[in-house]
């Protein structure tokens, strides 16, 4: 039977940034407010929201670029901030990998693809024949095993570079990949194939995926579950088909109405769309007081 225990859980995680400009008072940004999420092996969770909603902050907390201001992040049930055993530390670093929006950012232009992949393979899969492991890895991410190894990053397309980034995560035996807008810098024509690769890695290798995106439409292609964020809070969460197909929170309806197929329109009489949208955003920014169940596993926020 499939393993349904979570690999990673966020429990009421908040993150406040305090920035001190050269002139003027310090500024506090509540980037996340009491965010709770669960990630499971073989499943993808889409974290959807507009720019500045806090999506990347969730990803960066998970890969420990920062620590939460409040709340806990549990890896297989253990708090990653307070349990500092070396074993947990090593397991975590290996198991949780991030793939970024810019496929170039994580690749060194001076090194071939072979170099990028052989190093993690030697460290994390030392018992395997390195060349055989390299060929298998390229096959896993649907890159040509013959022509790819000796190329430099600039000789590959954006989609191919992103595939190399996924291959690196596989080389270290990642079990959870945080993919932060992994297709938004790619041509529309190849976005779907990279999403298809992610779907295959999840289904065939049992990877857990956190798919961060501003595009609610693509969530349907990949993710079993979707969480919608606005101003640092989750306002709706549940099975993707329900969140996208029958959104309950006004902000999700607003996001959904920006998709070309306006199956769902905002209600309200007499108000222009812009006025309604401004009102929805104002209401949605208020603190979430509780989550109401709209169906099996489907919740939306009350403010």
Ligand X SMILES: Nc1ncnc2c1ncn2[C@@H]1O[C@H](COP(=O)(O)OP(=O)(O)OP(=O)(O)O)[C@@H](O)[C@H]1O
**Beta carbon nearer to ligand X, 156 or 223:** 223
Question: Closest separation between CB of residue 76 and ligand X, Å?
Answer: 25
State yes or no: residue 17 binds ligand X (CB under 6 A).
yes
Residue 109: CB atoms within 10 Å? 8
Per CB under 6 A, contacts with ligand X among 210-239 are 214
Restricting to residues 49-88, name those near ligand X by CB under 6 A: 49, 51-57
For the bound state, the minimum distance from the C-beta of residue 231 to ligand X, rounded and expressed in Å, comes to 8
Q: Closer to ligand X at the Cβ: 65 or 192?
A: 65
**CB crowding 78-97: b at 16 or more within 10 Å, else e:** eebeeeeeeeeeebbeebbb
> Residues in contact with ligand X, total (CB under 6 A)?
13
Q: What is the DSSP string of 124-162?
A: H-TTS-HHHHHHHHHHHTT--TTTSTT--GGGS-HHHHH
> Rounded to 5 degrees, what angle do the CA atoms 219, 49, 199 make?
20
Sequence-distant (6+) residues with CB within 8 A of 243 are: 219, 226, 228, 236, 237, 252, 298
Phi, psi of 126 (to 5 degrees): -65, -20
Asked if 273 interacts with ligand X (CB under 6 A), we say: no
We find the least distance from the C-beta atom of residue 289 to ligand X, in angstroms, to be 22
Query: Which residue, 55 or 116, is less far from ligand X as judged by CB?
Result: 55
Nearer CB in complex with ligand X: 168/231? 231
Distance CA 103, CA 166 (A): 10
Integer-rounded Cα Rg, in Å, for the chain is 20
Of the candidates 53, 68, 75, which has an alpha carbon nearest to the alpha carbon of residue 181? 53
Least distance (Å) between residue 217 CB and ligand X: 16
Helix boundaries (H) for the chain: 55-62, 86-95, 113-124, 130-140, 158-171, 188-205, 216-222, 240-245, 250-257, 273-284
The nearer residue to ligand X, 160 or 252, going by C-beta atoms, is: 252
19 contributes a contact to ligand X by CB under 6 A: yes
Are 281 and 291 contacting, i.e. CB atoms less than 8 angstroms apart? Answer: no
Q: Which residue is nearest to ligand X (CB)?
A: 56
Q: How far is the CB of 258 from ligand X (least distance, A)?
A: 15
The distance of closest approach from Cβ of residue 229 to ligand X in the complex, given in angstroms and rounded to an integer, is 7
Question: By C-beta, is 143 or 178 nearer to ligand X?
Answer: 178
The residue (of 47 and 201) whose beta carbon lies closer to ligand X is 47
Query: Is 29 near ligand X (CB under 6 A)?
Result: yes
> Mask: binding to ligand X, 33-52, rule CB under 6 A, as x and -?
----------------x-xx
Instruction: Pick between residue 79 and residue 215 the one whose CB is nearest to ligand X.
Output: 215
d(CA 139, CA 146): 10
Cβ neighbours around 76 below 10 Å, total:
15
Rounded to a whole number of angstroms, the minimum distance from the CB of residue 143 to ligand X is 28
Residue from 8, 10, 13, 31 that binds ligand X (CB under 6 A)?
Answer: 31
Partners of 99 in the beta sheet? 179
In whole angstroms, the minimum distance from the beta carbon of 53 to ligand X comes to 4
Residues 161 to 220 in contact with ligand X, rule: CB under 6 A = 214
Footprint of ligand X (CB under 6 A)? 17, 19, 29, 31, 49, 51-57, 214
């Amino acid at each position: 039977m499939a393993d349904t225990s979570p690999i990673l859980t966020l429990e009421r995680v908040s993150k406040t940034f305090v920035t001190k400009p050269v002139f003027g008072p310090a500024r506090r940004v509540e980037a996340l407010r009491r965010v709770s999420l669960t990630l499971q092996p073989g499943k993808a969770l889409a974290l959807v929201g507009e720019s500045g909603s806090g999506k990347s902050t969730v990803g960066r907390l998970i890969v420990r670029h920062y620590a939460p201001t409040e709340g806990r992040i549990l890896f297989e049930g253990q708090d990653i901030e307070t349990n500092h055993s070396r074993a947990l530390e090593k397991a975590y670093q290996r198991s949780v990998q991030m793939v970024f929006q810019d496929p170039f950012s994580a690749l060194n232009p001076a090194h071939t693809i072979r170099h990028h992949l052989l190093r993690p393979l030697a460290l994390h899969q030392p018992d395997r024949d390195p060349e055989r492991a390299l060929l298998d890895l390229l096959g896993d991410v649907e890159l040509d095993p013959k022509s790819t190894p000796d190329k430099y990053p600039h000789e590959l397309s954006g989609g191919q570079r992103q595939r190399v980034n996924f291959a690196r995560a596989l080389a270290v035996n990642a079990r959870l990949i945080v993919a932060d807008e992994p297709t938004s810098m790619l041509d529309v024509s190849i976005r779907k194939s990279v999403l298809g690769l992610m779907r295959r890695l999840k289904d065939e290798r049992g990877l857990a995926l956190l798919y961060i995106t501003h595009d609610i439409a693509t969530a349907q292609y990949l993710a079993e579950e979707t969480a919608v964020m606005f101003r640092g809070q989750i306002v709706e969460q549940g099975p993707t088909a329900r969140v996208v197909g029958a959104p309950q929170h006004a902000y999700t309806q607003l996001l959904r109405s920006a998709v070309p197929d306006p199956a769902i329109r905002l209600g309200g009489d007499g108000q222009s769309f812009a006025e309604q949208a401004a009102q929805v955003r104002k209401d949605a920014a208020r603190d979430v007081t509780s989550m109401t169940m709209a169906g099996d596993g489907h919740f939306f926020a009350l403010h």
